[in-house]
């Protein structure tokens, strides 16, 4: 597909579905927050002010302040980098590892397939969030390990997808032709099969992003990975939760709303991408 | 999802046995202390009650909604269904739980305080029989405690169910659409059968299989979200126990918890598979 046609198709898909466009714009804004968060934030997200603790939303603090008087708007903005960073790197990792394992299993079949398949089945035999908790505890309580845990629990989806996509292409005419041309197995796989399964895998990844964010935020909500002064949406919701019963709603509402917004936009964008690439799957 | 059990079967008893024995051994090691064991059983009964209520709520809302949406494609119910599915998929369970606490407890005052299974300052727990306060209160015939315990259950169950609703409604709608578009439904229509009979007797039966296969995913989600919901509503359940173990880096306890959840999950999937063979004879002949 030429670049112009791609641009036209993209324009068409966005024109047809305003919600996808809106989601893309909001995501771009969130990405901006993630990239330039510290310089966009009006206050230092870590500076405490005992005099202004739990101040309701005002013109000075549009989102109010938390129990230590830190400006919530700044904290929500700065947290975007950590939240999106964790989700994107986890999804990217499971995309790469899943693609590699899945395509090897799908292409070679036999024992490779059996071993990879059983490992993935073992992962799927656990409730995924519970498994992620277990992995983080076993590996140690850090942000990196949250990423690894999220990567592992998402792995089976990518792996199975890549496996079946490679499997149906393995004996197609053009692959036979490439093999006849003297390419080795890995060359055929890398140059002729994998490029063809990338687009549907990308859709899978974008549909998966929202879930990865929820998972990482859920882990930090129960106190895993991110340490208290660090701004992160999940842990901020859990910090704000104690003040709900006394009516200070802003402390949990705004970080939670940021979380919902990010997940919602990724889901919308994923749906839009899927419509663009595979209109038949539209439900 | 039914592939999991099928493939476990393929690997054979040799692999299945250690998988089943390990967690039980882990649990016995950990929960060997008698009072802790009793406590865990009691907490598990409490957990089971609200997870089940959550699942019931999700299934009870999602399936009629999906069927209705498919029966009137692009009608108002269909749009409402799509909106609900999209929105509920974006809300983290813990956030929705907190939102409910704020709206229904703080603002409206309808719900009881989020203090776990029963406000023990006002009510006294019923004598323990099953471990679930609602059932125990019923056994004693204490309606006040029953109502209070039931009220404590509603918000956790609904917030748990809301997220599970999305996949079920989505699958129901898609499967229903497919069934309604098929030849046998056209024939039934041409034969002049009433619309309700076509919808329920002919089309809906075909929805049960895809819905039961998505239930595996829903269980995976419910078992994980239990942990978050217990944090939000102050339940002293298995999830809360796991979280405190996680914070304290108590490996054995976390291991026991993860493996117990895994057994539960495998058993649930087994139940789903058996259910699938009951509702669709074709499944019996596969694999």
Residues 6+ apart with CB under 8 A from A122: none
- A131 near B CB under 8 A: yes
Please, are residues A219 and A146 in contact by the beta-carbon 8 Å criterion? yes
**Lowest mean pLDDT, pick from A122-136, A217-231, B86-100, B231-245:** B231-245
As a whole number, mean pLDDT of residues A207-229 equals 84
B228 touches chain A (CB under 8 A): yes
Q: Is B115 on the interface with A (CB under 8 A)?
A: no
pLDDT value at residue A151:
92
CA distance B12 to chain A (A): 12
Which residues of A are less than 8 Å from B101 in CB distance?
244-245
Residue A44's pLDDT is: 72
Q: What is the pLDDT of residues A47-92, one digit of tens each?
A: 776 676 766 777 777 777 777 777 778 888 888 888 888 888 999 9
B257 with B241: CB under 8 angstroms? yes
Work out the percent of chain A whose per-residue pLDDT is above 90.
Answer: 6
Rounded to two decimals, the ipTM of the complex is 0.78
Report chain B (287 residues): mean pLDDT per 10 consecutive residues: 41 39 42 43 56 75 82 80 82 84 78 66 62 66 72 78 82 84 86 83 82 80 80 75 78 79 80 78 63
Interchain CB contact of A115 with B (< 8 Å):
no
From chain A, pick out residues whose CB is under 8 angstroms from the CB of B228. 218, 221-222
Tell me how close the Cα of B236 comes to any Cα of chain A, in angstroms: 14
Determine, for residues A237 and B95 on separate chains, whether the beta-carbon distance falls below 8 Å.
yes
Q: Chain A: residue nearest B270 by CA?
A: A125
Find chain B residues with C-beta within 8 A of A238's C-beta. 94, 231
- Sequence-separated (6 or more) residues with CB below 8 Å from residue B42: B128, B131
Answer with the residue of higher pLDDT: A148 or A230.
Answer: A148
CA distance B111 to chain A (A): 12
Whether A227 and chain B come into contact, CB under 8 Å, resolves to: no
The model's pLDDT over B134-149, given as tens digits with 9 standing for 90+, comes to 666 667 777 777 777 7
Total-model pTM: 0.79
What are the chain A neighbours of B223 within 8 Å (beta carbons)? 127, 129-130
Q: For residue A71, what are the β-bridge partners?
A: A65
Report the C-alpha gap between B225 and B246 in whole angstroms.
15
Average of per-residue pLDDT across A5-30: 74
Report chain A residues whose CB lies below 8 A from the CB of B95: 237, 252, 256, 259-260
Closest CB to B106: pick one of A137, A247, A259: A247
CB-based contact (8 Å) between A22 and chain B?
no
The predicted pLDDT at position B128 comes to 60
Chain A residue with the nearest C-alpha to that of B217:
A127
A106 contacts A166 by C-beta, under 8 angstroms: yes
Residue A26 CB-density burial (10 A; 0-12 exposed, 13-18 middle, 19+ buried):
middle
**Whether A223 and B99 lie within 8 Å, measured CB to CB:** no
pLDDT at A148 over 70: yes
Q: Is B135 on the interface with A (CB under 8 A)?
A: no
Per-residue pLDDT at A242 exceeds 90: no
What are residue B47's DSSP bridge partners?
Answer: none
pLDDT at A279 over 80: no
Q: How far is A206 from chain B (nearest CA, A)?
A: 14
Q: Report the 10 Å Cβ neighbour count for B63.
A: 21
pLDDT at A15: 61
Out of B4, B98, B257, the one facing A252 most closely (by C-beta) is B98
Q: Does A114 touch chain B (CB under 8 A)?
A: no
Q: Rounded to whole angstroms, how far apart are CA atoms B249 and B244?
A: 8
Q: Is A195 on the interface with B (CB under 8 A)?
A: no
Please tell me the predicted confidence (pLDDT) of residue A198: 85
pLDDT of residue A12: 66
* Structure tokens, A126: 């656990």
Question: Is B113 touching A (CB cutoff 8 A)?
Answer: yes
A125·B114 Cβ contact <8 A: no
A18-40 vs A72-108: helix axis angle to the nearest 10? 120
Please report residues of A whose CB lies closer than 8 A to that of B245.
137
- Cβ contacts (< 8 Å) between B231 and chain A: which residues? 221-222, 238
């Amino acid at each position: 597909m030429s670049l112009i046609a791609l641009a036209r198709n993209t324009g068409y898909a966005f024109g047809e579905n305003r919600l996808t466009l809106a989601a893309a714009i909001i995501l771009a804004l969130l990405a901006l927050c993630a990239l330039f968060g510290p310089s966009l934030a009006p206050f230092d997200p870590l500076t405490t002010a005992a005099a202004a603790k739990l101040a309701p939303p005002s013109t000075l603090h549009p989102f109010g302040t938390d129990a230590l008087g830190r400006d919530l708007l700044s904290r929500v903005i700065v947290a975007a980098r950590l939240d999106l960073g964790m989700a994107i790197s986890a999804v990217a990792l499971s995309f790469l590892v899943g693609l590699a394992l899945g395509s090897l299993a799908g292409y070679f079949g036999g024992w490779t397939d059996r071993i990879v398949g059983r490992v993935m089945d073992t992962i799927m035999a656990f409730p995924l969030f519970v498994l992620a908790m277990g992995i983080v505890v076993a590996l140690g309580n850090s942000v990196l390990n949250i990423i690894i845990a999220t990567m592992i629990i998402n792995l089976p989806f990518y792996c199975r997808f890549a496996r079946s996509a490679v499997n149906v292409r393995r004996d197609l005419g053009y692959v036979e032709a490439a093999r006849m041309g003297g390419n080795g197995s890995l060359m055929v796989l890398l140059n002729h099969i994998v490029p063809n399964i990338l687009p549907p895998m990308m859709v899978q990844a974008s549909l998966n992003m929202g879930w990865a964010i929820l998972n990482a935020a859920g882990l930090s909500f129960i106190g895993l990975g991110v340490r208290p002064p660090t701004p992160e949406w999940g842990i901020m919701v859990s910090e704000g939760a104690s003040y709900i019963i006394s009516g200070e709603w802003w402390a949990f509402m705004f970080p939670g709303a940021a979380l919902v917004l990010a997940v919602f936009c990724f889901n919308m964008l994923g749906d839009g991408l899927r419509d663009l690439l595979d209109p038949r799957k539209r439900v | 999802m039914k592939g999991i059990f099928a493939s476990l079967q393929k690997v054979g008893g040799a692999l299945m046995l250690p998988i089943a024995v390990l967690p039980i051994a882990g649990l016995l090691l950990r929960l060997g202390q008698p009072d802790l064991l009793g406590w865990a059983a009691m907490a598990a009964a409490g957990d089971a009650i609200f997870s089940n209520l959550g699942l019931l709520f999700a299934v009870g809302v999602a399936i009629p909604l999906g069927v209705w949406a498919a029966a009137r494609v692009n009608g108002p119910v269909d749009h409402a269904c799509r909106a609900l599915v999209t929105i509920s998929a974006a809300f983290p369970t813990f956030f929705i739980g907190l939102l409910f606490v704020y709206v229904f407890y703080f603002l409206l005052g309808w719900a009881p305080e989020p203090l776990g299974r029963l406000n023990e300052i006002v009510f006294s727990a019923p004598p323990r029989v099953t471990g679930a306060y609602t059932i125990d209160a019923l056994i004693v015939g204490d309606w006040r405690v029953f109502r209070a315990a039931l009220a404590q259950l509603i918000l956790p169950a609904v917030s748990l169910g809301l997220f599970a609703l999305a996949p079920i409604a989505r699958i129901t709608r898609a499967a229903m659409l497919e069934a309604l578009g098929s030849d046998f439904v056209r024939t039934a229509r041409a034969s002049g059968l009433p619309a309700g009979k076509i919808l329920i007797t002919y089309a809906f039966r075909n929805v049960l299989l895809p819905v039961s296969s998505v239930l595996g995913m829903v269980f995976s989600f419910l078992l994980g979200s239990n942990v978050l919901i217990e944090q939000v509503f102050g339940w002293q359940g298995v999830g809360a126990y796991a979280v405190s173990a996680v914070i304290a880096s108590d490996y054995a306890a976390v291991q026991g918890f993860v493996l117990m959840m895994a057994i539960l999950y495998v058993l649930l999937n087994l139940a789903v598979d058996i259910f699938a063979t009951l509702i669709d004879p074709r499944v019996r002949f596969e694999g």
